[in-house]
DNA sequence: CTGAAAGCGCTAACAA
DNA sequence: TTGTTAGCGCTTTCAG
């Protein structure tokens, strides 16, 4: 509605309060060296004029932008959405702004690392869930600001992540404890070239099986493409048509687990009676559908990364190599159960 | 890694390229009045020094911040995640930054409208999916920048939204066409006080029934709290224990529909054979689980809102009251079917 | 405790 | 086509 009328400046406030601009500046920033009487007068004048400090002007002299930047491949995902949802308010509470850089595809990603648009426009960068090349990591080093890595280990640089190997190990171990011996693993890949933590989770899965003296069977590892219904359907078909089908499936992420359950049930396979399914994430929908899963907390990661960022911004002597490894928790719900007592013969009974 | 060494300024680039700072400014902004020879030299110098323009300094003189701000209740939601995922790259492509304000709870929301932190820190604000009070809307009017409303009608102000009434009408009409007569509606509420489009969708649902001469039955409208598994479970129980249970359920959002289907199946009710379920959104998971739904496109909304914002920023004469109403599409998948020929008697058979 | 003055890095007249 | 000059609105010495 209102058009480009000139916004009030500190000088306006100063005049109205009958003091100098520097006094206004000090009063508004809550510096101690201001008499409470003057402070009150300044604050009132500011309110009356609807005055807001120009961050641009302030940062020009302080050298701080008052901005925390976040780099995410997409926001259209439970993980990143949750992480930023906790990072945002934290940044706000510190009186700073949250700036978001999205790189949904390879072109955007390349452009980001080429131009580094965040340079000079933020005081810290939080990088979420990328699988960065060494080259990219090095590039970020001369961004001139602290860079915090979330959901990935960055050697010698501040990082926050969960132990994916252990998480996958727990899921697999749990299924073994229930009595399962034929356990499938369904890793997933994104269409946009971004990968999740398949590698680590596969490792944990294998480790648990090996410890239990169960031979690895590559036929039980079936990648199912994220975002492709047909592909998931076929993957499920592949598992069901094995000579010896699995009695349990560990899906790399909850959303995939939900889809797998859907196709199993459509094929008249009962979950968990005939096949158990467990996911990874503890996505909200896992609660709603009572899905067994391994919980990780992206919101904790976002929060910790934010705190780390603020600390690195304000205390240049802070430890710049800190790694925070968060725990995962097994959450057994109703999509897992012991295998049916007799090794079932396919459709029979 | 690298610490707070002084970043190169335009003066540094100018010196290195052997020209004046203003020439550097012009060259880097791609203004026409620069010989290509000089431009090349400047660009090279800038690259060598790893120079990036300080937006702060530039905006101080231009009066533009180069920032588009987005106000969202949370990012932890399919709708907002998708919308911002399309808004972000668009803003970047225009050479601007995306700044995000999150108001996960009432306190943050109040604080935002009280302090209007976006003022002076952005050139436009895109407000997503709030159910704003008149007071809040008016407050945004004197923000000193164009404000674009997404997923809500704001009288006399630019808005982008879908016709929820019509969408709900389509879903209900489709179920009627299949032969259903007992159709339930499951609206949902968020725990954080933010509501979705329940009101409009209820209207559409009722309208379709009325047109079909089917009496409205409030027992068939059961609100199920978003984010509360138990509550959804109970809601499903409520429907199943009606004297005359529904043969179809229209859920306000896909995620709720998925949960409803889950509990129906757990109760040994076959979907869609015994009860049809349809959602609203066309959430990604709807594809994976083959859920019938009414599609809306938050990414289209984000894109259109972004384009509108850019237009309003650059062309102050643009129409500031434009309303863009996007279509919804019925997507029949496999969770809906005609009702079973004989009216089933509960558990029987 | 408060004011005056200088300058942060850039762009936009105005000259040349 | 390029250089010179004067600020943009704020914070920060340094005086008082």
pLDDT computed for residue B166 by the predictor: 97
CB B208 within 8 A of CB B273: no
**Average pLDDT of the residues in B296-307:** 97
pLDDT computed for residue B34 by the predictor: 87
For residue B19, say whether its CB is under 7 Å from any atom of strand C.
no
Q: Which helix (H) or strand (E) holds A304?
A: helix A298-314
DSSP bridge partners of A324: A160
* Chain B, window 72-111: residues with a beta carbon less than 8 angstroms from a chain A beta carbon: 74-78, 80-82, 84-85, 88-89, 92, 97-102, 104, 108
DSSP bridge partners of A280: A294
Across chain A, the runs of DSSP E, i.e. the strands, are 67-72, 97-102, 124-128, 147-150, 159-162, 183-186, 188-189, 224-225, 248-251, 276-281, 292-295, 323-326, 329-331
SS3 B9: coil
| Strand D footprint nucleotides (protein C-beta < 7 Å) | 1-5, 7-13
SS3 B195: coil
Question: Cα separations (Å) of A41 from A19, A27, A48, A247?
Answer: 9, 9, 11, 74
pLDDT tens figures, A154-182: 889 999 999 999 999 999 999 999 999 99
Cβ-Cβ contacts under 8 Å, B287 against chain A: 227, 229
Residue A85 preceded by cis peptide, ω within 30: no
| Number of other residues whose CB lies within 10 A of the CB of residue A272 | 22
A92 contacts B229? CB cut-off 8 A: no
Q: Going from the N-terminus, what domains does chain A have, and what CATH number goes with each?
A: 10-62 (1.10.260.40), 67-162+298-326 (3.40.50.2300), 164-297+331-342 (3.40.50.2300)
CB B160 within 8 A of CB B148: yes
* Chain A, window 151-210: residues with a beta carbon less than 8 angstroms from a chain B beta carbon: 156-157
pLDDT tens figures, A298-324: 999 999 999 999 999 988 777 778 999
- Look at chain A and count its residues: 349
Q: Write the CB contacts of A46 (distance below 8 Å, at least 6 apart in sequence).
A: A13, A24, A28
A142 contacts B50? CB cut-off 8 A: yes
Torsions phi, psi of B169, nearest 5? -60, -45
- In this prediction the pTM is 0.91
Alpha-carbon distance B3 to B22, whole Å? 29
pLDDT tens figures, A10-22: 999 999 999 999 9
CB B128 within 8 A of CB B75: no
The H-assigned helical ranges of B249-288 are 254-266, 284-288
A192 pLDDT band (50/70/90 cuts)? low
Q: How many CA atoms lie within 13 A of B267 on its CB side?
A: 21
Residue of B nearest to A299 (CA): B76
pLDDT tens figures, B97-148: 999 999 988 899 999 998 899 998 999 999 998 888 899 999 999 888 999 9
For residue A62, say whether its CB is under 7 Å from any atom of strand C.
no
CB A75 within 8 A of CB B79: no
What's the angle, vertex CA B289, arms to CA B284 and CA B290, rounded to 5? 95
Q: How many CA atoms lie within 13 A of B42 on its CB side?
A: 24
Alpha-carbon distance A208 to A186, whole Å? 15
Portion of chain A with pLDDT greater than 70, in percent:
95
Alpha-carbon distance A273 to B339, whole Å? 28
Residue B272 preceded by cis peptide, ω within 30: yes
Residue B331 in contact with partner chain A when CB distance is under 8 A: no
Alpha-carbon distance A235 to A267, whole Å? 13
* Chain B, window 21-40: residues with a beta carbon less than 8 angstroms from a chain A beta carbon: none
**Average pLDDT of the residues in A37-55:** 91
**Average pLDDT of the residues in A203-230:** 95
Burial A273-284 (b: 16+ CB within 10 A, else e): ebbbbbbbbbbb
The answer to whether the Cα torsion of A255, A260, A261, A262 is positive or negative is positive
pLDDT tens figures, B308-341: 999 999 887 777 788 999 999 999 999 999 998 7
Alpha-carbon distance B349 to B346, whole Å? 9
Residue of B nearest to A262 (CA): B289
Residue of B nearest to A139 (CA): B1
Q: How many CA atoms lie within 13 A of B239 on its CB side?
A: 30
């Amino acid at each position: 509605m209102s058009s480009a009328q000139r916004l009030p400046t500190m000088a306006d406030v100063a005049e109205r309060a009958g003091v100098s601009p520097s006094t206004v500046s000090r009063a508004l920033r809550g510096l101690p060296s201001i008499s409470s009487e003057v402070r009150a007068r300044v604050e009132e004048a500011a309110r009356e004029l609807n005055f807001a400090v120009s961050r641009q002007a302030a940062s020009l002299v302080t050298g701080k932008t008052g901005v925390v930047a976040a780099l995410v491949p997409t926001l259209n995902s439970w993980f990143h959405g949750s992480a930023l949802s906790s990072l945002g308010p934290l940044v706000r509470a510190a009186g700073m702004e949250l700036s978001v850089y999205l790189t949904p595809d390879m072109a955007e990603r390349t452009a980001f690392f080429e131009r580094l648009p965040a340079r000079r426009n933020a005081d810290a960068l939080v990088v979420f869930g990328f699988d960065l090349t060494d080259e990219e990591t090095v590039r970020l080093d001369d961004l001139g600001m602290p860079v915090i890595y979330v959901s990935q280990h960055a050697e010698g640089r501040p990082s926050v992540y969960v132990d994916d190997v252990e998480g996958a190990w727990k899921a697999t171990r749990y299924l073994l404890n229930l009595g399962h011996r034929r356990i499938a693993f369904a890793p997933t890949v994104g269409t946009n070239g971004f990968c999740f933590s398949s590698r680590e989770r596969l490792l944990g899965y294998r480790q648990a099986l090996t410890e239990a003296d169960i031979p690895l069977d590559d036929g039980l590892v079936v990648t199912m493409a994220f975002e492709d219904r047909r592909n998931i359907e076929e993957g499920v078909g592949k598992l069901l048509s094995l000579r010896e089908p699995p009695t349990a499936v560990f899906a790399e992420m909850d959303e995939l687990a939900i889809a797998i359950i859907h196709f199993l049930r459509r094929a008249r396979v009962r979950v968990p009676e005939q096949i158990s399914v467990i996911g990874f994430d503890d996505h909200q929908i896992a609660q709603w559908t009572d899905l067994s899963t391994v919980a990780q907390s992206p919101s904790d990661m976002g929060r910790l990364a934010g705190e780390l960022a603020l600390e690195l911004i304000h205390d240049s002597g802070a430890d710049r190599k800190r790694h925070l490894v968060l725990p995962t928790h097994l959450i057994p719900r109703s999509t897992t159960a012991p295998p049916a007592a007799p090794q079932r013969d396919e459709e029979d009974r």
